[in-house]
Amino acid sequence: MRYDWTVEEIEGLFELPFNDLMFRAQQAHRANFDANEVQLSTLLSIKTGGCPEDCKYCPQSSRYNTDVESELLMKKDEVMKAARIAREKGASRFCMGAAWREPKGRAFELVLDMIREVKAMDMEACATLGMLTAEQAAKLKEAGLDYYNHNLDTDPEYYKEIISTRSYEDRLDTLKNVRAEGMSVCCGGIVGMGETVRNRAGMIAQLARMNPHPESVPINMLVKVEGTPMQELDDLDNFEFIRTIAVARITMPSSHVRLSAGREVMSEEMQALCFLAGANSVFYGEKLLTTGNQDAENDQALFKKLGIRPEERVEVPSSRRMVNA
């Protein structure tokens, strides 16, 4: 396993002929996973809107005039009902997202209780709650959280064009706090935000130089939402997105690479190429935080066409993360 990838090396992967890149990605995938299995996660927004951050892609920011209304934290009974439905439909991991800069006070205690309840249902628990202190990470670990999602979004150079209210180092510090408690890391980024190929290579390099690699790497296609500063950007070429999946697979061969936001508008053929490129995890269900997603029935039909089956649940010790998530 390598943890010393340079941006230039990764740029070289992006420049490979498409068939050669796909072949290398398939080799890496098959050496580490069953090529016909996909891990299914369900993502629920438990606290929507009203976020003080200025992430230019996000309709949940209070700074932008979008259709997303600010809501209070969901009641635990509603969250558990959603978790039970997700489990019945085949999801092995239940992810809870809250539009916070960081968790605070009583609301954080309520989320800890939700995590305990999800674990009692024999599901993996994942959360994305913003920045974490070391103490908060310890409490999440104690509650049984398996995965914490905190994306880098892009590379350090382009980051300042996307967000000003939180530094790149802030994101890395949260990931360090999660790792220090022994929880698994869900960390990826968003493509199609106007970045260059070198920026995408730089983002992958940041992820691939983590030791260990993130256990889960979500690759998001920007979902352009009216009212956000990125609503008028040109669409990213589909092949550039597929290449990003393949490069993530080659550089992080034992990570689950998640085909994440933007899947709602992807054709079956494009999704099939993403699976061929090494994607082996998806968000399963009709919604990702505030934006649409492929519904479960469509996914089941596509999996049948491709001969893909859900990854079997693994028992996780109880003690042991969109829009773009």
Helix H, strand E, coil C: the string for 133-186 is CHHHHHHHHHHCCCEEECCCECCHHHHCCCCCCCCHHHHHHHHHHHHHCCCEEE
Residues 320 and 220: beta-carbon distance below 8 Å: no
pTM: 0.87
Q: Tell me the pLDDT band of 289, cut-offs 50, 70 and 90.
A: very low
Q: Pick the range with the lowest mean pLDDT from 112-116, 170-174, 289-293.
A: 289-293
Residues 100 and 128: beta-carbon distance below 8 Å: no
Active site residues: 51, 55, 58, 95, 126, 186, 258
Q: What is the largest CA-CA distance in the chain?
A: 53
Average pLDDT over the chain, rounded to an integer: 88
Section 141-163 average pLDDT: 94
Q: Is the pLDDT of residue 136 over 50?
A: yes
pLDDT at 290: 42
Residues 40 and 90: beta-carbon distance below 8 Å: yes
pLDDT at 209: 97
pLDDT at 240: 97
Distances (CA, A) of 306 to 27, 113, 184, 276, 286: 18, 39, 29, 10, 21
Residue 143 DSSP label: H
